[in-house]
Each structure stands twice: as C-alpha cells, then as structure tokens.
Amino acid sequence: MKFLFDHNNINVLDLEKSLEFYKEALGLIEVKRYVQGEGEFILVYLGDGTTPHSLELTWLKERTEAYNLGENEFHLAFKVDDFEAAYEHHKKMGCICFENKEMGIYFINDPDNYWVEIIPTR
C-alpha cells in the first residue's frame, strides 16, 4: 500500500482576495473549481504548474467571521529558485510576517493569516 500527497486545504473568508494573493505572492493558478449546487460553498484548487500537489481553498457562503487559527503553528512551505528576488517581492507586498535569518528562511501571511514558509532551493 502506498500513499501519495495530493493536496492541502485551508478555509478562506474572501475567496477573490485569497486567489489574488496566492497568484501574486506565489504564482499559483487555479486548476480546478467546484461550486456546490446552491453555492453554499466553493472549492478552488491552486497549482504551481510543475508539481501535481495542489492547495484547496474552501469558501463557505455563510461564513462571516475570521477563522480561529489557534497558535498558528501549522504552515505551508514553498521552495524558490531565486530567494533574494522572492524576498524583495514579498517585502514590497508587505506580507513578510517572520524571518529566521539564521536558518535562511522567512514566512509570509495570507489574507486569512495562514503562514507560508519560503525556503531557498539548496
């Protein structure tokens, strides 16, 4: 028996704002969308155009309050081929929320305050 990663899911409050963020910050593009019959929820899958792994954004029509992320100790992680250019891009966007210079990484946060780790390709 062999298990393979397929996708990760996060719930978002403003789907359009999240789609714009993930496209601008990480270059992720929509690869699939599911709209529940009455529009009670929408699932949008984003991909990097290279790997089969995707990020599923779930939007719930009735949700109006921010999600409780607890201590926000979980995160997504992306490797980038030009770490310095990525850092400058994210700095310009104003979305860097934590830096660990000793480890050579930093984190950005999305519109719902999920953290995304940026790692240089080594």
117 as an active site residue: the answer is yes
Give, as one character, the DSSP assignment of residue 13: S
Catalytic residue selected from 30, 56, 99, 117? 117
Q: How far apart are CA 8 and CA 53, in angstroms?
A: 8
Catalytic residues: 117
